[in-house]
Each structure stands twice: as C-alpha cells, then as structure tokens.
Amino acid sequence: MWNFFNPVKLVFGIDALDRIGELVGGRPYGLVTYGDPFFSELTERISQLAGTPGIVINDVSPNPGFGSLAVSCDRLASTGRSPEIIVAVGGGSAIDTGKVLAASGGDFSRVRECLETGEGGQRLKPLPLIAIPTTAGTGSEVTRFATVWDHLGKKKYSLALDSSYPEYALVDPVLSQQAPRDLTISTGVDALSHALESIWNVNANPISSHLCVFAAKEVLLALPLLSKNLDNLDLRLRMARAATMAGLGMSNTQTALAHILSYPFTLNYGVPHGIACSFCLPMVMQRAIGFNPECDSTLGKIFGNDLEAGVEQLSDFLLDLGISTSPEDYGMEEKEWSALVQTAIGSGLGKNFVGRDATPAARANSSLKHRGITSRTCEIWDFNHSVHSLVRRCFIWVSLTFISCHVFSWAHFGPRFRGFVLGVFTP
C-alpha cells in the first residue's frame, strides 16, 4: 500500500512572476528575501504587481539559525498591520525563513519549542505562503519542510508541519539566470540528491519514483551544459523543472542517508548544503544497489542495467563539475567519517535508506529472495563464497611461492648448467 499527497498549487513557466498580483489577491502580505541588489529590484517589481508589502524582511542569511530567525520574528510582530500571507523570494534559506515566520505568529520561541521538544506543533497556525525560488535545487517551494540550524549547539532541525506546505509555488526559470556558476552547480546537485535520496528510500512510491527518475536524468544531462552556458534559458528551465519534480518526490518520501551525512559538513566545515549532500552520493548508491529489487530497477532507468558502472558514472559527473567525492577534501578525517557513516545509518533520516541493513548476507538475501531462494540458502551461499575466496588466496600464495623458488633456483644453478652444456657440445 502507498499514498501520495501534495497540496501545493504550482505555477511554472517563463515570466510566471507576472502572476504574483493575482496570487496575492489583494491580501496584506509580508515579503521575505535577501538584501542584494538583484533582490531589491525584485522587491520593487513585486510591489508594482501585488501592491506594497506591509513589511519587508530582506536580511535572510544562508542556513538560517535560531538567532537570526528570532530577530526576524520580532520584526514581524512589530509591524502595525499583521500580514495575511507571506511571500518568500530566494533560495532555500529564504523560503525556509518564510515558513518559520509564517508559523511563528511573531514569536519564535513557539517554533523553537516545537523544534527542540517535538511538542506544541498543533498550536502553530501558519499563515499562507507563496514560495518563489530563484535557484534550481531547493525543492522547498513544494514541501512542508523548513531547515533550521542551531549554530551554537551544532544541531540541525526540521520544521515539518502538515500546515507548512506553501499555498502556491511560483517557479519562473528567468529568476535563476542571475545565479553564478558555483551557486548553479551547488543547487543543481542538491536537486540531484533529492531525486536519488527519494529513490533509495523506504518511503518511495510509484509516483515519487517516476518524478525523481525524470529529475535525475535531466540534472545529469542539463547541469554540465548549463555550467558552461549560464545564460541559456532553455537549460535554466530544464533545471528548474527537474528541481521542482525532485522536490515533489521528496515531499512524500523525505531524504535519506546522504542528507544526514551532510549536516556535520555544513555545521562544522562550512560546506554549502548542495555540495555537502551530493559529494557522497556515489558511496551511498554503492551501498544501496543489490539490496532492494525495486530500487535497483528504478536506478536502472537512470544509469542503465550495470549499476556498478552507474556508480562510476555518478562519480565522474561530480568530478567533472569540480566536486570531490572524498570527505577528507572537506576537512573530515577518515576515522571521523567512518564513525559518522555508522552512526548515521541507524538514526534520523538514515532509517529511510533502503540499504541501512546491507550486511553481505542481508544484501544477498534481498537480491535473491524474489527468485524463491531462502535466507538459509543465502547463508550457505555466503559461506561457500568465503571458502572459495580462501581457497583462491591459498592457490595464489602457493603459485607465487613456486615461481619464486623456481626463479631462485635458475638464478643459482643456471650459469653452471649453461657451462656444462657448452663444454659438452662445443668442439
């Protein structure tokens, strides 16, 4: 049994921003965005199309944390006329900030209590939200999730209220043309991580998988081209569409192992979120394959039947974009990384990962069970495989020993033998 639900009304296309006035519908609104010149111009344009906002919060920071969100909520509370709707314009940080402000009622302590204790969510009554992404990657415009960081406590939280879905997602690919190359790549691989994490996920369903296969294939094709031609609007549209479809899939499955592995890299080493949750995708895919037949079949629609080669393809894709697949290149030593992987698999989002119990015997059992082979047979297969490996190693050792002795003997006795032969047959 499975189900799929997403209540967000999606408006997608070139110049879709022109419809913002229609979507606001005359309601008093608050605008949440960044302070950069591009976003100041967008604020002016939205004001012309939808009327002047009651309040503009334009100091959103990357990876919004408790401190900055508390200040923004205080500003929202201080406005004379409370908005009836929030309009959030920007990347994931702006949209997530918009969701927190919409839920806070001007009091961040209520949201913080919900995040830290898991209680009080029923008392939060979020305002409607219009999410307008200016990057292709976040997916936040079509989900109920908002990432909140406790930078002092070194923790990541997720506000995940059923009432936090945006009322509208307004996706205009033109708005992403301002994104520089590094941001385009970082957010693009974030979209890819959403798609793949939704596929190797215990919550995957036919609709989410269909959406995410399309999204992953598009990112793999379009992002390398876009990274070399940032002004190409058709490629921007393809990436925006892929990011939105990956977000729709993720909205039902959540993410999995790669994301929970990413958080320490962002908190402790300042690695941008998109890079932090994508550099390890080949490792996670390697662990996922051969464990769940449905997952393998879905991944095969992206990478072909040879999934081992698909791991290499995925690794090459990242390396070609300048993204290292080694955790050490981002500041984490191998010992810390190994401990992190083992901890992550059994906690939080790691429990969504289809390969979380992928011991050799379990992997064999999963991949063969659908053929009618019992777990006992898999145990025997695993034992025989181990014996075969031992015999093979012994054979190699004996062979090398024989060759070494033969070489030594010839080196020692060879010259005397040659002298004897020459003495007998030379006149």
The residue among 388 and 211 whose pLDDT is bigger is 211
pLDDT at residue 363 greater than cutoff 60: no
Range of the domain at 281: 179-358
Residue 243 shares a structural domain with residue 151: no
HEC letters along the chain? CCCCCCCCEEEECCCHHHHHHHHHCCCCEEEECCCCHHHHHHHHHHHHHHCCCCEEECCCCCCCEHHHHHHHHHHHHHCCCCCCEEEEEECHHHHHHHHHHHHHCCCHHHHHHHHHHCCCHHHCCCCCEEEEECCCCCCHHHCCEEEEEECCCCEEEEEECHHHCCCEEEECHHHHHHCCHHHHHHHHHHHHHHHHHHHCECCCCHHHHHHHHHHHHHHHHHHHHHHCCCCCHHHHHHHHHHHHHHHHHHHHHCCCHHHHHHHHHHHHHCCCHHHHCCCCHHHHHHHHCCCCHHHHHHHHHHHCCCHHHHHHHHHHHHHHCCCCCCHHHHCCCHHHHHHHHHHHHCCHHHHHECCCCCCHHHHHHHHHHCCCCCHHHHHHHHHHHHHHHHHHHHHHHHHHHHHHHHHHHHHHHHHHHHHHHHHHHCC
Residue 166 shares a structural domain with residue 246: no
Over residues 239-255, mean pLDDT:
98
Q: Is residue 314 part of a domain?
A: yes
pLDDT attached to residue 21 = 98
Residue 183 shares a structural domain with residue 309: yes
Over residues 258-269, mean pLDDT:
96
Residue 204 shares a structural domain with residue 311: yes
Domain boundary residue among 305, 324, 358?
Answer: 358
Q: Is residue 408 part of a domain?
A: no
Over residues 324-352, mean pLDDT:
94
Q: What percent of the chain has pLDDT over 90?
A: 80
For residue range 46-74, list pLDDT tens digits in order: 999 999 999 999 999 999 999 999 999 99
pLDDT at residue 367 greater than cutoff 90: no
Q: What average pLDDT does the structure give for the chain?
A: 87
Over residues 323-337, mean pLDDT:
97
Residue 170 shares a structural domain with residue 258: no
pLDDT attached to residue 55 = 96
For residue range 208-226, list pLDDT tens digits in order: 999 999 999 999 999 999 9
Q: What global pTM score does this model have? A: 0.84
Residue 159 shares a structural domain with residue 183: no
Q: Is residue 367 part of a domain?
A: no
Number of domains in the chain: 2
Over residues 191-203, mean pLDDT:
98
- Residue 219 sits in a domain whose CATH number is 1.20.1090.10
For residue range 123-176, list pLDDT tens digits in order: 899 999 999 999 999 999 999 999 999 999 999 999 999 999 999 999 999 999
Residue 202 shares a structural domain with residue 114: no
Residue 165 shares a structural domain with residue 203: no
For residue range 71-108, list pLDDT tens digits in order: 999 999 988 778 999 999 999 999 999 999 999 999 99
Least confident of 32-36, 133-137, 375-379, 420-424: 375-379
Residue 134 shares a structural domain with residue 160: yes
Residue 27 shares a structural domain with residue 151: yes
- Residue 168 sits in a domain whose CATH number is 3.40.50.1970
